[in-house]
Structure 1
Amino acid sequence: MNKVSYYLSLPVLYLIALLPFPILYLLSNCLKFIIFDIIGYRKEVIITNLKNSFPYKTEQEIQQIANKFYLNFTDMLLECVKMLTLSRKQIAERFIITNPEYLLTYQDKGKGLIAVVGHMINWEWAGLIQSHNSPYPALVIYKPLKNEKFDELVLKIRSKFNAVLIPMKQTLRKLISYRDKPFLLILAGDQYPGKKDSTYKTTFLNQPTHVFMGTEKTAKMMNCPVVFCDIRKTERGRYKVTFFPLVENPNDTAEGEITEMHINQLEKAINEQPEIWLWSHRRWK
């Protein structure tokens, strides 16, 4: 059944991916109307997350952010499909790295770095532009999909510009092979931590929040500098990313210090452009 759904979906996905951007975003307008205005996908979760995160905002302000998020969400879905046919020229024009030289000051000396990123739309394009833009490998940790055929397709898309995809369960073994080599490891710092994961409790967006400590533990294990990957949307279908240094010597920090650093940077980015964070995620369970 999994193979059947894959082969039925594949032609549709490629047809969408071949659409020019203006048509793609017209389709996104329609998709937003269906998913949110008719079906009401996770509207209660989104509004609740926004109200709890911004208790000082009015109902009207909350609704304005939500409406912008709905469209950003469907844009992201179709932009991810577009990755099937996205060229190097297109990604370079539409996703700008403002300070690539900062990473190179370490990598040119044979040093690896860790870039912690939040789920700011469109984080998938951020992985593509970094692997396209750098002579050094971009390592991305991922959780394999249950549908093997779709998992193969997602791997193909994400690694098209030579990014190295590492299954979550193989993280430690793979990272050891990169010790003392130049690389950029991209880690998400805002996912909901599992019950078995080591977590750190802090206040994030005005709420008590458990944070996965993977970034901090990996940085100390690899002795890598940590940077924050600040993604901003400049206009529809166009983004920029700026790398902000967090810590150069992770083993000199106290427990929880690095985690607080990247959570604080993410909170600042969300406050400045709230409509591009993934509000539909059940972050506070």
Structure 2
Amino acid sequence: MIKHFFSVVTFGFFYLLSLLPFWLLYIMSDIIFVIIYYIFRYRRKVVDENLFYAFPEKTEKERASIRIKYYRYLTDLIVESLKLLTISEAEVKKRVYVPNAELITDYFAGGQSVLGILGHYGNWEMGALRFSQLFAERRVIVYKPLSNKFFDNIVIRMRSRFGATLVEMKSTMRKLISYKNERTITVLVGDQTPSKPEIKYFTNFLNQQTAVFLGVEKLAKLTNSVVVFCDVRRIRRGYYQCTFIPMFKNPKETNTYEITHAHVKYLEEVIKEKPEYWLWSHRRWKFKPEDMV
């Protein structure tokens, strides 16, 4: 009972904060940045290690510059994500420009479903909400449940606001098979870290051998869905552009690991161009090939 009460109060607090205008949320972001960067030094060791191994060719000063830009963006991402609890459809449309949505409608018209791959880059959550507005066909967002049930429920509520169907990662294959008579666009985050029992494949990513889920490739081949990369870039504070990048129109004709390698490499090039917008505080390299022996 007490736990439920505190959950309700906490959600109410977050909800009220999300009603604040963006300009005020960004003032909050500036304050949060000072607190987590200079006072609490939130995950500084993780970020420094990730940047060191990803960019050994850069100087310490260059990596420090990326680090501080990353934390400045991270706090913006926090308040922007909070805003998504109450943001209007019109506001999302204004803030996420999609220059080539017709690419997806053309695939639908040709009778194919679409598999869209995202990275933890830019505001992927706002990008996913924008996808929910674009098409009349079924929109599926694949997610990995959070261990904290309270925050998991908040994320589910946020992601499904504009009509998207949320599907747990472990149920994705079964669900997509059940939608085989529908045209769908399914969005997955392609740079999540598999748990040790789930690891089947390593590839080179940001200068390190990296465990990668093979789910995108398996789903694409099973459903013969067109594979596109959802390239979300920050234009300026609070505004983004998402471009659909065609990758594979006939996935069943690809070689083993070809799809996986392609989407991992594309994300890598995006990160190298503007590294501060990727999730560096995530423990992405917990496992190495030698750990699997």
One fold, TM greater than 0.5?
Answer: yes
Kindly tell me the number of residue pairs found equivalent between the two proteins.
285
Aligned residue for 2:154, secondary structure, equals helix
Aligned residue for 2:201, secondary structure, equals strand
Aligned residue for 2:66, secondary structure, equals helix
- After superposition, give the CA deviation of every residue in 1:187-216 in whole Å (9 maximum; x if it has no partner): 111111122225322111111112111100
Counterpart of 2:291 in structure 1 is: none
Change (3 A) 1:14 1:231: same
Counterpart of 1:194 in structure 2 is: 195
Counterpart of 2:232 in structure 1 is: 231
Task: Return the offset for 1:128.
Answer: 0.1
Q: Is the 2:194–2:211 Cα contact (8 Å) retained in structure 1?
A: yes
1:148 & 1:213 partners in 2: Cα distance? 26
Counterpart of 2:78 in structure 1 is: 77
Q: Is the 1:118–1:266 Cα contact (8 Å) retained in structure 2?
A: yes
TM, length-normalised to structure 2: 0.93
Counterpart of 1:41 in structure 2 is: 42
2:169 & 2:262 partners in 1: Cα distance? 24
Task: Return the offset for 1:51.
Answer: 1.3
For residue 144 of structure 1, what is the amino acid of its counterpart? P
Q: Unaligned 5+ residue runs, structure 1?
A: none
Structure 1 range deviating more: 248-257 or 102-111: 102-111
Counterpart of 1:264 in structure 2 is: 265
Aligned pairs (5 A) from 1:1-285 = 1-285=2-286
Task: Return the offset for 1:87.
Answer: 0.5
For residue 73 of structure 1, what is the amino acid of its counterpart? L
RMSD, matched Cα: 1.4
- After superposition, give the CA deviation of every residue in 1:95-119 in whole Å (9 maximum; x if it has no partner): 1112101111111233211011110
1:110 & 1:5 partners in 2: Cα distance? 48
Task: Return the offset for 1:172.
Answer: 2.3
Task: Return the offset for 1:171.
Answer: 1.8
Aligned residue for 1:199, secondary structure, equals coil
Task: Return the offset for 1:167.
Answer: 1.9
- After superposition, give the CA deviation of every residue in 1:222-245 in whole Å (9 maximum; x if it has no partner): 111111111110101111111111
Q: Is the 1:6–1:150 Cα contact (8 Å) retained in structure 2?
A: no
Task: Return the offset for 1:52.
Answer: 0.9
Q: Unaligned 5+ residue runs, structure 2?
A: 287-293
1:151 & 1:46 partners in 2: Cα distance? 24
For residue 17 of structure 1, what is the amino acid of its counterpart? S
Change (3 A) 1:143 1:3: farther
1:135 & 1:76 partners in 2: Cα distance? 28
2:40 & 2:153 partners in 1: Cα distance? 30
Structure 1 range deviating more: 194-203 or 14-23: 194-203
2:199 & 2:182 partners in 1: Cα distance? 27
1:207 & 1:146 partners in 2: Cα distance? 27
Change (3 A) 1:143 1:201: closer
1:172 & 1:229 partners in 2: Cα distance? 21
1:259 & 1:2 partners in 2: Cα distance? 42
Aligned residue for 1:15, secondary structure, equals helix
Aligned residue for 2:53, secondary structure, equals helix
For residue 76 of structure 2, what is the amino acid of its counterpart? D
TM, length-normalised to structure 1: 0.96
Q: Is the 1:110–1:180 Cα contact (8 Å) retained in structure 2?
A: no
Aligned residue for 1:212, secondary structure, equals coil
Q: Is the 1:145–1:151 Cα contact (8 Å) retained in structure 2?
A: yes
Q: Is the 2:199–2:211 Cα contact (8 Å) retained in structure 1?
A: no
2:6 & 2:201 partners in 1: Cα distance? 40
1:190 & 1:79 partners in 2: Cα distance? 21
